[in-house]
Structure 1
């Protein structure tokens, strides 16, 4: 079996990225990079009442600060 690695991180934009989410994103991103795979960011929009553009932008800024560049998303 010779399939490429694809990982996904799917935060919800209902608040700022917290330390646990950042840790999970980092682990996924490093795992994909180590194995020559793809890292996908998918911001969940299942809670439309609490989701805001401000939190969406804050999540993206946090990933920029962490140095994570996503292949998709």
Structure 2
């Protein structure tokens, strides 16, 4: 129990120290300099564009022709 409290106190102290450093870093930026801000969602969308519906349909038809679909059905039939 005591070790949990000590660990929590250490983490809380470290978090407090980090916010102070981050706050100081932000204050040193001049107000007229534009900041490049990118959200995680925008980064995720840029990293993987995905497939079009036509590409997915083409892959499905190819998998049916190759027998992949039948193999998967027989593999997962027992579960």
Compute the TM-score of the two structures, normalised by the length of structure 2.
0.24
Query: Greater helix percent: which structure?
Result: 2
Query: Greater strand percent: which structure?
Result: 1
Higher relative contact order (CA 8 A, sep 6+): 1
Compute the TM-score of the two structures, normalised by the length of structure 1.
0.26
